[in-house]
Structure 1
Amino acid sequence: MSDRTKTRLLTALKTSGPQTAAELAKRESVTAVAARQHLDSLSAEGLVEYEDVKGAVGRPKRIWSLSREGHAQFPDNHSGLILSLLGGLKDLYGDEGIDRLISHRENEARASYAKALSGKHSLQEKLEALAEIRSREGYMATVQADDDNGGYLLIENHCSICAAATACQGFCRSEMTLFIEVLGEGIELERTEHLLSGGRRCVYHVRQAA
């Protein structure tokens, strides 16, 4: 299987979650037979896994998803080094050192995000600019309208600082505070899915306050 096709299938499962071979085939414009062959090859490499789900009628559907090794194909900013540095920082300076690091990172991001959102007026424009800069940072971010609840969903399909956030969830709290600040006054933001809490991704529901 070509590396390009492999990357496309892995990315499709990463960004859109578990899917059947037929759904992947339609998405990637290949035949269902080719998609199944590629998925079998990825399964042999340990990068994907499947579950056969029974429906009300007919044969069970085989649902494909990324394995732990498959998720590891996406960069996490050198997790081993990050954990080592965080451990050393805490040993040397205690929790205060970690807090100061988080604050420093937040200040740098605030300036960068504020510049990216400058001149954006509507909430949608601001969110799209925020998603673009977050994607450049490795979060694979997108924006969708939330037709059921109003407002928008800021979806991050990957966490590029997952190792650091796992070791210290202050990074996650810091990011939520930062989003509210750069999006402006009168914004309500709620995290409805959280990768570190067992979710497939991080999702934020954002809307103008009533």
Structure 2
Amino acid sequence: MKRATPAASALFPAEIAPGAVHVPGWLSLDQQRELVDACRRWAAGPVPMRHTRLPNGGVMSVRTVCVGWHWRPYAYSRTAEDVNGARVAEFPDWMADLGRRALAAAYEDPAAGEGYAPDTALINFYDGAAKMGMHQDKDERSDASVVSLSIGDTCVFRLGNTAGRNRPWTDIHLASGDLFVLGGPSRYAYHGVPRVYPGTGDPASGLAGGRLNITMRVTGLGGV
């Protein structure tokens, strides 16, 4: 992965809530294509991209593949016993470096990414009908920031509060190349994706349709 520098069209970071920052256009088209290529490799295995089954029997409308650690509701493991029993792909060093640069860009502070050591990424693919209900990212044993990258079709991203799934919330559009960080007081804010706008992505990103969302996290599980 090439060193990430802001795309020519990148705008200034916007703090949506304390610690929750949106950086439009952070990834260049070249970087988006490289991430799409990597995601395609991971989607093919060793644990393939799939619809995750929830404990209540429901099935998530997004398709998911993980690297570093395998996530299933609501725990992490090294192997995907609920899929095919295989160990997930290793979390690459270049992605951890990308996460550190993302924090520095979002908080406009070169020191913001120091010590950030993400060890897993959840990669969700949204087709035109997929959604994500309001939820917290709270299965990690660490309160380190979550770094989110969007590629492909634009979506509505709903940022709520830390108390519950209901209002108040703020809706923003996340487009291809956008960076969003959940950290500080907003680390455990409820959030979701109520809508994707099909056909709004640029095929030059490497994605002809749909939306990829890559979220880097620190599990806090060490070498378990």
From the two aligned structures, give the one with the greater strand fraction: 2
Select the structure with the greater relative contact order (CA < 8 A; seq sep ≥ 6).
Answer: 2
Same fold by TM-score greater than 0.5: no
Which is higher, the Rg of structure 1 or of structure 2?
Answer: 1
TM-score normalised over the length of structure 1: 0.32
